[in-house]
Amino acid sequence: MDLFQQAKSYNFSDVLCLVAGLRIGGFGEDGGIEVEFNGDLSSMKQGADGEPTVSLLPIPTATVTIKLMETSTSNTLLQGLLVAQRAAPAGFGIPFALVDPNTSESLLGGQCVFMGFPAISKGKEAGEREWKLGIPKPVVVL
């Protein structure tokens, strides 16, 4: 029996999300950030004689979904960045960083792109806005 085992703790408030160097806040009721990788890290083929070959693939792109309360001031910030990115002749790079000091995980991107407008819904209670950002060349530290 381990009498000196330390309990682990987690605090979402410590998680840092930066878009264009600006801190994003005012997250949704159940959380706020989800990262999905859009491919595999390797592929495997098996020859006719049963000999397998493994191919290491490039780091896949990532899609980051940020859920904000509709009253969050970060919605205005992201809307302004989306409009500016769309208005630029060739678009422009917006840096992205997601850092979780609780787990030492980080996702960094020298460029992120807005994948679309968030859906807008009005109802009895404040809703959420869901922003999707594409990270073409993510750097992942797990």
What 37-42 contacts at long range (C-beta under 8 Å, 24+ apart), as own/partner pairs, is 37/61, 37/62, 37/138, 38/62, 38/63
Structure tokens at 130: 């869901």
Q: Which residue has the tokens 């605090």?
A: 11
- Residues 23-50 pLDDT 10s: 999 999 887 999 999 999 999 999 999 9
Helices (H), the chain: 74-87
- Residues 94-112 pLDDT 10s: 999 999 999 999 999 999 9
- Residues 113-138 pLDDT 10s: 999 999 888 889 889 999 999 999 99
The Cα 5–Cα 17 span in angstroms is 31
